[in-house]
Amino acid sequence: MSFPDAVQEAWHMVALSRDVKRGSVRKIALCNTPVALFRSEAGLGALIDRCPHRNYPLSEGRVREGALECPYHGWRFDPDGACQSVPGCLAETAQDTRLRAQSLRVWEGHGAIYATLSDAAPEQPPLPPDFGNPELDHFWWQQGTWRGRAFDAIENVMDPFHTNHLHDGFIRRRDKRLPVDLVVTSHGDGIDMTIKQTQPDMGLMSRFLERDRECSVSRYYTPATVQARWEGKDKLTLCVTAIFTPATDGTFTPFARFSTPKGIAPGWLKQAAIRLFLAPVVAQDRRALERQHEVMTYFGHPRFATGPGDILGDRLHRLWKGERLARGAEPPVKAEL
């Protein structure tokens, strides 16, 4: 799957702030493009991972005097790509556009670093609700780069029916299903699925972490974010913002931000509990997406049969490609989860 313009030209989360310390360089991939991400006293910078002089990877260099230094000949580049100096030469280089490295726009906030490959992207990335809400406890969880396609990861998170089987006992149970109403609402540039139910799910995580639940809502924010919200009778129970950054055609980098209401339990304790119960779920999803990708690669292309549980149809893929949907809510669909 080559990436559509709507994906190529968007903002994407590329790293956690804590992972790019001052004086460090980090090699990342974004939509099949290698990038050298670094932090100096001059600020945060992201350069296409290619020295314009002799095509050496800048990510193997070091941060020096506020710039990224190429290890081949020592050319140094500011965060905006200007060539700060060419060692051994007395010529002025900063204004010479021929010597510039290609820079990317970056944005940092709420412990996250975003980058965009396009000048057409908005001034800063649009963020989903409660991303920086000070009334909630937040923590990030990131587990490296996974094999598989970013789009398939988005579809996996938006699909409730796999949880009874793939995550049997952790989220839901295959042998004890609950009656639910599924309501799909299109928002033009996004779509959500609301699951209305009279009691929490039967899996371990819900039984230990939730006292009650009336509904959960999973909403897709294009191009690579899904936010799931679990609502009790009186307030939000848990909000999970999952971001699936496309690295290459066959890999993606997932980031998850967990948000919970402030209360009696300290944030570190809630974080430990969530990690404990979700660790096997994350491992199951990772393996499933990897195996799915192996099969699609073997047969040369994906081939999907749409069943009665696929009530979103092709709308996720249409949004991924940059299309807009007609707004409106659909009648509830009765199901068992």
Question: What CATH class does 136-336 carry?
Answer: alpha beta
- CATH class, domain 5-116, is mainly beta
CA distance 198 to 189: 30
pLDDT at 174: 87
**Where are the CATH 3.90.380.10 domain residues in the chain?**
136-336
Residue with tokens 């660790």: 279
Name, in order, each residue with C-beta under 8 angstroms of 42's C-beta and a sequence gap of 6 or more. Answer: 66, 67, 78, 79
- Say if residue 15 is exposed, middle or buried (CB neighbours under 10 Å; 0-12, 13-18, 19+): buried
Q: What is the pLDDT, as a whole number, of residue 264?
A: 73
pLDDT tens, position by position, 62-112: 999 999 999 999 999 999 999 999 988 877 887 888 999 999 999 999 999
* Phi and psi torsions of 236, nearest 5°: -65, 135
In the chain, ranges of CATH 2.102.10.10 domains: 5-116
CA angle 117, 120, 124 (to 5 degrees): 80
Could you say which residues of the chain have pLDDT below 70?
1, 206-213
Per-residue pLDDT, 199: 76
- The alpha-helical segments, DSSP class H, found in the chain are 5-8, 150-158, 163-166, 204-209, 267-299, 315-320
The model scores a pTM over 0.85: yes
pLDDT on residue 116: 98
Q: What does R_g of the chain's alpha carbons equal in angstroms?
A: 22
Residue 209 is predicted with a pLDDT of 64
What whole-number distance in Å separates Cα of residue 263 and Cα of residue 275? 19
Cβ–Cβ contacts within 10 Å for residue 60, how many? Answer: 14
Angle, CA 112 vertex, CA 21 and CA 9 arms, to 5°: 115
